[in-house]
């Protein structure tokens, strides 16, 4: 075989790789490998000069293959593929060796890490020599979008798309749009009405010609791929509604933590211990009262119920601190003679306008008591002679003293948690959830609204707890991502799929049943199986199962993987 | 000098490879003995990949896929799950110790789990010692 000419580039990633891996040593090692005509170590391969270096070398050294040893291919494979295209090489003639996420960042022994990096580079060189130029397919991008969830995120994304003239199917499982924000009275920190926000959105959404609102509906199935999905919707009991969409935005929101799971606050036992959403309900009704129908004189607000705890959720629910301050304002203005105490762990006032809001709350004479993380205030029924319903004992951290405060109403700031159906939704649209159950974004910083499945986007609190401004920003961002794709009209899809060598296929049809996408059809006349490339998602299950070795996984061929195995072990 | 085993890890692209990347972004330290080969799905892992790795001198082979029910391709990991005991039995018939071949589920959020699995497998293989497969194959070839 006439070995192709390979260029190897070892990225230092500043010091991210170089501090643990001897990058110059790896490049020197690479230069000794068969086929390698140039091997370099460079500070930042993804930078413009780094990419230009590859482009120039391809031209000057007639390179036919490129290996970049750097970060994960999930991070920069697309970048380097573009560099190859710039130089006129087929973008599939590059292989990345992951020596950052899977090497320098996880090892503490420079010798072991450098040996491993060499092995990974060796494997990549072995593999890339066997790469074949692949042609990508161009398919039409359907301009319609399916939005799952009719809360503030879903409605915002739908409007952004519909205003751009695109058709949107907005599916909401309940009878009314609005989601959790529709249960809220005022919003922090500017005290504007949630009702106004929701009414405005619901009116616009329902009146919009481009939005088809489907309430009391659920998405039952989603087939196809980016640009060409077919969604099956159960619309008000009619299970047969099918729509064609190019993109999906998942905006399924959150549910509140069940306060009854924590027994020590007496929720469900002490009648005047209520949750934040129960207080919202009172505020919306314009009547704050105890179970006995009296206006409370002492109201205590307890933070971090179910959040930031070892036992329940380790994360911060982000909105509760400011919501608690909002309650202090609302209660003080509704019941001017009342005393509000705020029992917190840490006050998280990170958003725009929030620190000022915290200061103003201190000025309206809210009593702030700080308790320690891992501890909890103790609530008990007051004695008959006391002028209050309950007493709360707090080990106050700032004073170092144990204090007891009176309360007629205790409000538990329940955190956010993933909805019970997250795994069903994740499965439906082929995305993942993190350890807590929130949907995982494509990249936490660089790509926070896309997911690892092309064409599926996430917005709002289904991704992680967030407030209204962040939710709206994310919803509009998701819409913008979709519009950018729709504007191009055509979509280039990955050239990685399976294909059957008809000369080797025995027509046994083992693969037909295995394919989860029904992408393999059997030609009765030829007695051969055939892969419909547009439907194939490249899992390779059929490839491994074919008894004749007749199916090839493009870009993941047996030959390429064998070469990699030899490379890592040489 | 202590024996350092070489482990070939076949990881599915969607859950386990992403989980291994997360171990990196979270800076979770683990033993450098594993060399990862990315495949799109654990169902792509042909038993010959495992045999090939052992024949080429791997002291252990680790296969990781999405947790059952979480497969990006709906059910690919079930195929891997069904192949595993068959292959395991075949390897044991060849006299290959069972610690040398392992199937684990690692989700995209389980960087720590991936690191723990690698450390545990490395430790077990250190105790077990080097694989004799490659040497045995060489002797066999010489005798023929």
B32 interaction partners in chain A (CB closer than 8 Å):
103, 106-107, 109, 112-113, 115-116
Does the structure show a pLDDT above 60 at A220?
yes
Q: CB of A303 within 8 A of CB of A413?
A: yes
User: CA-CA distance, A437 to A441, in Å (whole number)?
Assistant: 12
Q: CB of A429 within 8 A of CB of A250?
A: yes
User: Could you report the predicted ipTM of this complex, rounded to two decimals?
Assistant: 0.97
Question: How confident is the model at residue A414, as a pLDDT?
Answer: 98
pLDDT band at residue A3 under the 50/70/90 scheme: confident
Determine the average pLDDT of the residues in A458-464.
98
Does the structure show a pLDDT above 90 at A535?
no
Q: Looking at chain B, which residue has its C-alpha nearest residue A119? A: B35
Query: Any chain A CB within 8 A of the CB of B39?
Result: yes
Does the structure show a pLDDT above 90 at A171?
yes
Read off the pLDDT of residues A320-377 as tens digits, 9 standing for 90 and up.
Answer: 999 999 999 999 999 999 999 999 999 999 889 999 999 988 887 889 999 998 889 9
Question: How confident is the model at residue B1, as a pLDDT?
Answer: 66
Question: Which of B1, B2, B11, B21 should be substituted to probe chain A, the one whose Cβ sees the most A Cβ atoms within 10 Å?
Answer: B21
A435 interaction partners in chain B (CB closer than 8 Å):
109-110
CB contact under 8 A, A102 and B20: yes
Question: How confident is the model at residue A1, as a pLDDT?
Answer: 54
CB contact under 8 A, B107 and A98: no
CB contact under 8 A, B35 and A113: no
What's the predicted TM-score (pTM) here? 0.83
CB contact under 8 A, B21 and A72: yes
How many A-B residue pairs are in contact by the CB < 8 A criterion? 148
Question: How confident is the model at residue B69, as a pLDDT?
Answer: 79
Determine the average pLDDT of the residues in A51-70.
98
Strands (E), A345-389: 367-370, 378-381
Query: Any chain A CB within 8 A of the CB of B48?
Result: yes
pLDDT band at residue A516 under the 50/70/90 scheme: confident
Q: What is the pLDDT along chain B (144 residues), one digit of tens a residue?
A: 689 999 999 999 999 999 999 999 999 999 999 999 999 999 999 999 999 999 999 999 999 999 987 888 878 999 999 999 999 999 999 999 999 999 999 999 999 999 999 999 999 999 999 999 999 999 988 888
Question: How confident is the model at residue A271, as a pLDDT?
Answer: 96
CB contact under 8 A, A108 and B46: no
Candidates A106, A120, A435; nearest CB to B23? A106
Instruction: Take residue A537 and report the two structure tokens written for it.
Output: 């998602």
CB contact under 8 A, A74 and B110: no
Determine the average pLDDT of the residues in A252-276.
96
User: Distance, in angstroms, between B144 CA and closest chain A CA?
Assistant: 24
Query: Any chain A CB within 8 A of the CB of B86?
Result: no
Task: Give all domains of chain B, ordered by start, each with its CATH number.
Answer: 7-142 (3.40.50)
pLDDT, mean over chain A: 95
Question: How confident is the model at residue A444, as a pLDDT?
Answer: 84
CB contact under 8 A, A432 and B109: yes
* % residues pLDDT > 70 (chain A): 100
Determine the average pLDDT of the residues in A27-50.
97
Name residue A409's beta-bridge partners.
A299
DSSP A263: G
Q: Looking at chain B, which residue has its C-alpha nearest residue A108? A: B29
Read off the pLDDT of residues A354-363 as tens digits, 9 standing for 90 and up.
Answer: 999 999 888 8
HEC profile for A154-211?
A: HHHHHHHHHHCCCCEEEECCCCCCCHHHHHCCECCCCCCEHHHHHHHHHHHHHHCCCE
B15 interaction partners in chain A (CB closer than 8 Å):
432
User: Distance, in angstroms, between B94 CA and closest chain A CA?
Assistant: 21
Question: Which of B30, B39, B44, B107 should be substituted to probe chain A, the one whose Cβ sees the most A Cβ atoms within 10 Å?
Answer: B44
Determine the average pLDDT of the residues in A473-489.
97
CB contact under 8 A, A98 and B36: yes
B109 interaction partners in chain A (CB closer than 8 Å):
432-435, 440
CB contact under 8 A, A564 and B37: yes
């Amino acid at each position: 075989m006439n070995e192709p000419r390979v260029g190897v580039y070892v990225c230092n990633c500043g010091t991210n790789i170089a501090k643990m891996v001897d990058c110059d040593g790896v490049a020197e090692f690479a230069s000794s490998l068969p086929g390698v005509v140039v091997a370099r170590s460079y500070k930042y391969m993804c930078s413009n000069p780094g990419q230009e270096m590859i482009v120039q070398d391809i031209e000057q050294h007639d390179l036919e293959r490129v290996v970049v040893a750097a970060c994960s291919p999930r991070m920069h494979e697309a970048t380097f593929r573009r560099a190859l295209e710039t130089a006129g090489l087929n973008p599939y003639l590059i292989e990345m060796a992951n020596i950052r996420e899977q090497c320098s960042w996880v090892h503490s022994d420079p010798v072991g890490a450098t040996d491993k990096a060499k092995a990974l580079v060796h494997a990549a060189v072995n593999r890339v020599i066997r790469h074949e130029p692949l042609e990508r397919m161009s398919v039409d991008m359907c301009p319609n979008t399916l939005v799952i969830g009719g809360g503030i995120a879903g409605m915002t994304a739908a409007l952004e798309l519909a205003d751009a003239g695109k058709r949107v199917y907005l599916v909401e499982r309940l009878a009314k749009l609005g989601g959790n924000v529709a249960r809220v009275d005022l919003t922090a920190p500017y005290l504007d009405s949630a009702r106004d926000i929701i009414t405005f959105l619901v009116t616009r959404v329902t009146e919009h010609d481009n939005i088809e609102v489907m309430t009391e509906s659920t998405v039952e199935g989603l087939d196809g791929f980016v640009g060409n999905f077919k969604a099956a919707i159960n619309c008000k009991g009619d299970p047969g509604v099918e729509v064609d969409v190019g993109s999906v935005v998942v905006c399924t929101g959150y549910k509140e933590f069940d306060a009854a799971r924590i027994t020590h606050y007496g929720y469900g036992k002490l009648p005047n211990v209520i949750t934040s959403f129960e207080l919202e309900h009172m505020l919306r009704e314009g009547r704050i009262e105890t179970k006995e129908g009296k206006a409370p004189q002492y109201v205590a607000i307890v933070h971090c119920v179910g959040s930031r705890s070892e036992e329940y959720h380790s994360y911060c629910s982000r909105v509760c601190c400011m919501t608690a301050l909002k309650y202090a304002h609302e209660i003080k203005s509704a019941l001017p003679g009342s005393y509000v105490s705020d029992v917190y762990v840490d006050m998280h006032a990170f958003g725009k306008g929030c620190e000022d809001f915290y200061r103003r709350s201190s000025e309206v004479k809210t009593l702030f008591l700080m308790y320690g993380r891992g501890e909890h205030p103790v609530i008990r029924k007051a004695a008959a002679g006391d002028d209050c319903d309950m007493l709360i004992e707090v080990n106050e951290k700032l004073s170092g003293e144990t204090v007891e405060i009176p309360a007629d109403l205790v409000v538990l700031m329940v955190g956010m948690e993933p909805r019970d159906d997250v795994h069903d939704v994740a499965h439906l649209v082929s995305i993942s959830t993190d350890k807590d159950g929130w949907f995982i974004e494509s990249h936490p910083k660089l790509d926070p609204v896309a997911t690892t499945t092309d064409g599926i986007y996430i917005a709002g609190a289904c991704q992680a707890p967030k407030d209204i401004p962040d939710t709206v920003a994310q919803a509009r961002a998701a819409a913008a991502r979709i519009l950018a794709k729709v504007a191009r009209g055509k979509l280039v899809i990955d050239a990685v799929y399976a294909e059957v060598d008809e000369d080797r296929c025995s027509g046994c049809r083992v693969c037909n049943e295995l394919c989860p996408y029904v992408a393999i059809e059997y030609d009765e006349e030829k007695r051969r199986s055939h892969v419909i490339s547009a439907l194939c998602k490249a899992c390779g299950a059929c490839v491994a199962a074919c008894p004749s070795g007749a199916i090839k996984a493009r870009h993941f061929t047996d030959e390429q993987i064998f070469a990699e195995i030899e490379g890592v072990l040489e | 000098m202590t024996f350092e085993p070489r482990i070939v890890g076949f990881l599915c692209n969607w859950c386990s490879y992403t989980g291994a990347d997360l171990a990196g972004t979270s800076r979770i330290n683990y033993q450098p003995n594993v060399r990862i080969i990315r495949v799109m799905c654990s169902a792509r892992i042909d038993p010959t990949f495992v045999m090939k790795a052992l024949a080429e001198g791997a002291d252990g082979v680790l296969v990781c896929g999405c947790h059952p029910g979480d497969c990006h391709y709906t059910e690919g990991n079930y195929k891997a799950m069904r192949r595993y005991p068959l292959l395991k039995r075949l390897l044991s018939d060849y006299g290959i110790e069972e610690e040398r071949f392992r199937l684990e589920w690692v989700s995209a959020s389980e960087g720590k789990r991936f690191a723990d699995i690698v450390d545990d497998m490395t430790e077990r293989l250190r105790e077990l010692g080097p694989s004799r497969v490659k040497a045995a194959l060489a002797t066999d070839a010489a005798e023929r």
